[in-house]
A and B are shown apart, each in its own frame.
Chain A
Amino acid sequence: MTTMLKAEGLTKQFILHNQGSVTLPVFAEVSFSVERGEAVILHGQSGIGKSTLLRILYGNYRPSQGHVHVRHGDGFVDIVTATPRRVLEARRKTLGFVSQFLRVIPRVKTIDIVKDPMLARGVSDDEATQRAGDMLARLNLPQRLWSLAPTTFSGGEQQRVNIARSFVDPSPILLLDEPTASLDAANRDVVVELIAEARQSGSAIVGIFHDEAVRDRVATRRLDLTAYRAAA
């Protein structure tokens, strides 16, 4: 067993300074670890803090307390205390976040968006182009769209571009926030396959899935956040 991610005593509360300094406690003292090849699915009702936890693991939100140790290179990086440069480096090589939304960069072609993470990891341009094309085809995105910027694509098409980008060379740790939401059945099946393949090739996965069927097909373990609910 190789531990890929260790969350340690994560507590989160939001303080809204401009709304009477309201404090919104979310969860307290969440600790768990994820091994290579595992898929841990976060569980619990809406508002329990699943997305918040996932964003903390990625370094997008800061926990009020606790640490997130991520296996990166030969050691571990604490995403909570690391410098921005180290977090960015960990995201480039180790830590991937997939949501249903593509953050579109104006004017960048679809194929280049998908190639980008591979190029950043040193894959040759030819190989990256080949693999990006294969992945877009697998996700049923018509070839005539590949050389266009996805700004004008439909929501579902943008979502598939995002998935292609994230799974073409899956990160050792993948954080998935409802990547299958609003996909049709055929494409949802492809994504479920991609997740299974990433796991078999050794990625550790933490995810949120509302679709019960998808959840059952993807999960190797569930983590129920209800037990960590913070007292208001």
Chain B
Amino acid sequence: MSAMLKEPLMSHDAVVQEAGEPDPILIAQNITKLYGERVGCKNVSFSLWPGEVLGIVGESGSGKSTLLRCLAGIDRPSGGEVMFRHGGTPISLFDIPEPTRRKLMRTEWGIVHQNPRDGLRMDVSAGGNVGERLMDRGDRHYGKIRAAALDWLTRVEIGEDRVDDRPRQFSGGMQQRLQIARVLVPEPRLVFMDEPTGGLDVSVQARLLDLLRVLVRDLGIAAVIVTHDLAVARLLTDRLMVMKDGAVVEEGLTDQVLDDPHHAYTQLLTSAVLAA
């Protein structure tokens, strides 16, 4: 047993489970996505537990966004399986009918896009963007929906006076915060984020990161965050997967991967960061 642990670079522990542990909420098994001859990602396996935040880092083109799209049910992988625990039993994401998958995506998990325009309805008011998700969930009481929407806008620090404005009248940072409120208002159990702070000013980023950190912790949601920013990964994630050319080259506890990287590529990544 101990011999195999000498170089614990990769731990394909997707199905290994310790006694007394809760069940994982998401299990990826050998996810592969090919675009013709070209490899998007290959043989990626991991398990994600409730309340756990997994970061996926790597340079552009490393396959991290491709993987995220497969995990989130947006793109069908060429091979492998994504299992999501819905109630008691895990269901295979791409074996269920499209409408069921769509409904799951709307109610059980959320996706925060890098560009808020991809996640918001730009011609609907801020309050409407948030309230709509509650209606998706089945809420019908207007007063309650409005109250919940206002509560969420406050939590993401959007003033009450902006609730009837359209997102296109918002700054980039506000749009991103609105998107986060829209995603989190139905209280999803699993959230996918693609470069959630990409394209924002550093000061706006810090604010958003703190907000995400607190929300993820307080709500106990599980999250998968794709980022190329190692500082973002360090602040937000418990665990990291490092991707290169579509494959996971190293994974483990976030601070361990960043502070004692073993793979040549991870060493390159961590040493290339300019200290701020």
Contacts and interface: CB of A to CB of B under 8 A. Distances in A.
> Do A and B come from the same complex?
yes
Contacts of A106: 206-207, 209-210
Interface of A: 15-18, 55, 59-62, 64-65, 67, 80-81, 83-88, 105-108
A62 B260 contact: yes
B96 interface: no
B271 interface: yes
The contact size tier of chain B is 20 to 34
Interface string B201-219: 0000011011001000000
Contacts of A59: 253, 256
B18 interface: yes
A18 B267 contact: yes
B5 interface: yes
A147 B181 CA distance: 27
Contacts of A62: 8, 252, 256, 260, 262
A84 B257 CA distance: 11
A27 to B, nearest CB: 15
A84 B262 CA distance: 16
Nearest to B240: A84
B8 A81 contact: yes
A74 to B, nearest CB: 11
Contacts of B209: 106
B260 A17 contact: no
17 contacts: A60-B256, A60-B259, A61-B256, A61-B260, A62-B8, A62-B252, A62-B256, A64-B6, A83-B11, A83-B13, A84-B252, A87-B253, A88-B238, A106-B207, A107-B207, A107-B210, A108-B210
Given A18-B271, A61-B259, A85 B238 contact: yes
Contacts of B213: 105
